[in-house]
Structure 1
Amino acid sequence: MMDHQFILVDFLVKHFSGTLSQADMQALQKIFEDDPTLRERWERYTSQGLRSSDAEFWDRLDLDQARAKILNYTSAKPAKRPLHTRGMRRLKIYAGLAASLLIFLGVAWFLNATPQDKQIVADQVYRYNNDVLPGGQKATLTLSNGKTIALSDEQTTIEETHGEQLQILDGQLHYKPNSGQAELASLKNTLKVPESGFYRMVLPDGTKVWINSASELSYPLAFGKSTRNVELRGEAYFEVAHEKNRPFIVSTTHGDIKVLGTAFNLTAYSNVASNVTLINGSIQLTNKNNTTKQIVPGQKVEFDGSVMRVSQANIEKETAWQHGYFYFEHDQIQDIMEQLARWYDIQVIYKGPISKKKFGGSMSRSVSLAEALELIKRGAGLEFEIDRKTVTVKNKN
């Protein structure tokens, strides 16, 4: 299949230069029959253009292997011909293959050197090198057979194993209520939200879930008869459908949340301690040390593998992302920038000593990165620089 990938480069160059012939298209169809994944790439490249994320695919192509193929080809003995004809033939072979290699290297360089990130735009107001647009509604769904589908807010129907149909309605992924068939309970789906994204869904039992950036939720196509189990990495807001005899359990890196019917916000990124804020109802938290704690509405529990700390929660702050805005209260700039990094899909660099001062305030998640930074720096005594998707933070003086 690797040879087909080399050939695809040549066809792409012909397509973009307008020299792709009917014979080329027939050859492409044969390649697509042998390797359907290349058809998907071809359709994406020719309809959407080449993107920086495609560089990973081309990086996996072995340039040494490409050169070896060409050298082997050019060193093959030609059929006996008159000396001057043989020399001309060899010259043509070298010229043609050298051009092919240059095309291959050129496309690979183009993919790496000219990323087309639609989130990066010109800054028309604040004089940064560029601006970055905010995140939006996007996610991928991995089906039980391993196939991954990009989700959007467009209405559509997705077919799962055993004929189960999943629907996207009003920008939400919906699972139809089912009777908990054993064969469906053993099949798992995973919804993954990238950085600069969020998504909403309704699970088979009617539970509503809002999933934040850089998060992943795994769950079965049907819940079991005794419990309803899901796994979360990242942040999500749950409105759990009440079922007295079938508790809803969310498993995280640091422990499990057990509920019957309630609303709560759970943050469970693996690089920091997890925390859960109870909006209404009742939950029971069990950490990895099997320590159990029950909290009441308005309380927040911060927990890792060994310690649980209970405090009064600021409900507005904990759920602001679900309602479309940032809310900061006694937060250091590093904590603020961590939230921005996930929403705008940026890298943050700190230059020099940065104040430990704490800040508060709120702003919409629909503003561009430049506007967000301007709102922050007014009272923070900081300067920011934007270079594509890298933000440098430094003291003003």
Structure 2
Amino acid sequence: MKDHQFILVDYLVKHFSGTLSQTDLQSLQKIFEDDPTLRDQWEQSISRGVKSSDAQFWSNLDLDRARTKILNYEPTRAAIRSVGNGRLRNLKIYVGLAASLLLIIGAALFLHKTQQDKQIVADQVYHYKNDVLPGGQKATLTLSNGKIVELSQEQATLQEQHGEQLRITDGQLHYKPNSAQAELATLKNTLTVPASGFYRMVLPDGTKVWVNSASELSYPLAFGKSVRKVELRGEAYFEVAHEKNRPFIVTTAHGDIKVLGTAFNLRAYNSASSNVTLINGSIQLTNTNKTTKQVVPGQKVEFNGNDMRVTRANIEKEIAWQQGYFYFEHDQIQDIMEQLSRWYDIQVIYQGPITKKTFGGSISRSVSLAEALELIKRGAGVEFAIDKKTVTVKNKNK
């Protein structure tokens, strides 16, 4: 039991740092077969989740030091006398030791996050409790072996399987074009952009992608001969390289977008529906109910598994984030705060009845949260309070 508990913690850290191998997974399966209760502990631990931006923390965590300290722990005689059965006593002690180790890891992670949160700054202009700095260019890349790499804006080269090299130049991730290695089509990478982040990349076929905050894009190291397929959760702007005989397909939770060569914005967060706006070219939209729609430039289509709703798009509004600003047009406060929450990585609380008044205007994404809120409250009829990364919204005179 003791060994299994500590091994479970080791594997938990490997899971979060992206270094859990196939051999590790096989060992875990054997542990779960020996003691099924540990499977529940494992699933509960990983279900809590961890931001990909913490991957470096998990990689650098000194488990040996924590484990040595716990193993040197000796229970008091009173504690031993309180349990009559020796086996039960040892079981409880060892479970407690492993729980203590998990507690140490949790505390260390909490302190790490607190110390690393440099977005929270003093507000010296608008008299809020504090201010929050805007997001910036940041992301992590999950390689085909599960390893998670922090992506910076500095020039760098990353090594993948089969000798494939990925380059970061001019703040963009680049893949080697037209790779002839067929096995690369079976290897997948995932670009994860956290809240308060964005990132730019060039896929193996030359397609350019801008990925917005709180989004994830998965794709192969090289596309197959007949189709180019990626998967999006979140929002991205695509400029697809034209290939007449090899369509480009973006898969989302609500349906697929099929194109040959075009530019479009796709928003597919985990909400009730997704939407796509076509800038130029032509796309075919198929939702999960197999309903198909041919979209023409200037159209915006909101879709879910059952329905599609076509409207004329305000192109400037739909791609404003990619150009570096927010654009609001008859938007209610909930829609506005949803965008701000992703860019500033904040939580939003509504106090009292929510106004139905709408707001219009544009705001640079480079301003601080306090400045953005001051601009919004002038026309939206609301007041704001900032407490660390929690924003409270309430009607004026309430």
User: What is the TM-score with the length of structure 2 in the denominator?
Assistant: 0.75
Structure 1 residues 332 and 105 mapped into 2: Cα distance closer, same or farther (>3 Å)? closer
Would you say the 8 A contact 1:180–1:225 is kept in 2?
A: no
Gaps of at least 5 residues in structure 1 are 7-50, 76-101
Aligned to 1:370: 370
Would you say the 8 A contact 1:167–1:174 is kept in 2?
A: yes
SS in 1 for 2:375: helix
Structure 1 residues 107 and 253 mapped into 2: Cα distance closer, same or farther (>3 Å)? closer
Aligned to 1:356: 356
SS in 2 for 1:149: strand
Aligned to 2:340: 340
- Root mean square deviation of aligned Cα: 3.3
- The reply to whether residue 286 of structure 1 matches residue 289 of structure 2 is no
Aligned to 1:141: 141
Inter-partner Cα distance in structure 2 for 1:382 and 1:113: 34
Aligned to 2:50: none
Aligned to 2:241: 241
Inter-partner Cα distance in structure 1 for 2:227 and 2:265: 20
Greater Rg over alpha carbons, structure: 1
Q: 2:73 aligns with which of 55, 60, 70?
A: 70
SS in 2 for 1:134: coil
SS in 1 for 2:74: helix
Which 4+ stretches in 1 moved above 6 angstroms?
Answer: 1-6, 65-68, 104-108
Would you say the 8 A contact 1:242–1:260 is kept in 2?
A: yes
- The reply to whether residue 322 of structure 1 matches residue 322 of structure 2 is yes
Inter-partner Cα distance in structure 2 for 1:285 and 1:266: 11
Letter in structure 2 aligned against 1:254: H
Would you say the 8 A contact 1:180–1:224 is kept in 2?
A: no
Aligned to 2:23: none
Aligned to 2:206: 206
Letter in structure 2 aligned against 1:337: M
Inter-partner Cα distance in structure 2 for 1:110 and 1:277: 44
Aligned to 1:300: 300
Structure 1 residues 220 and 108 mapped into 2: Cα distance closer, same or farther (>3 Å)? closer
Inter-partner Cα distance in structure 2 for 1:132 and 1:208: 30
Aligned to 1:168: 168
Inter-partner Cα distance in structure 1 for 2:341 and 2:332: 14
Would you say the 8 A contact 2:357–2:381 is kept in 1?
A: no
Gaps of at least 5 residues in structure 2 are 10-53, 79-99
Residue 179 of structure 1 and its aligned partner are, at CA, apart by 3.6
CA offset digits 1:284-335 (Å, max 9, x no partner): 0001111110011000110000101111000000000000000000110000
Aligned to 2:92: none
Inter-partner Cα distance in structure 1 for 2:230 and 2:203: 10
Inter-partner Cα distance in structure 1 for 2:349 and 2:196: 18
CA offset digits 1:191-226 (Å, max 9, x no partner): 000000000000000000000000000000010100
SS in 1 for 2:373: helix
Superposition map of 1:1-397 within 5 A: 70-72=73-75, 112=110, 115-116=114-115, 117-397=117-397
CA offset digits 1:103-137 (Å, max 9, x no partner): x9999768647922101011111111110000000
Inter-partner Cα distance in structure 2 for 1:173 and 1:208: 10
User: What is the TM-score with the length of structure 1 in the denominator?
Assistant: 0.75
Inter-partner Cα distance in structure 1 for 2:253 and 2:106: 39
Inter-partner Cα distance in structure 1 for 2:258 and 2:108: 51
Letter in structure 2 aligned against 1:70: Y
How many correspondences in the alignment?
Answer: 324
Would you say the 8 A contact 1:180–1:223 is kept in 2?
A: no
Structure 1 residues 141 and 121 mapped into 2: Cα distance closer, same or farther (>3 Å)? same
Residue 71 of structure 1 and its aligned partner are, at CA, apart by 2.5
Structure 1 residues 105 and 330 mapped into 2: Cα distance closer, same or farther (>3 Å)? closer
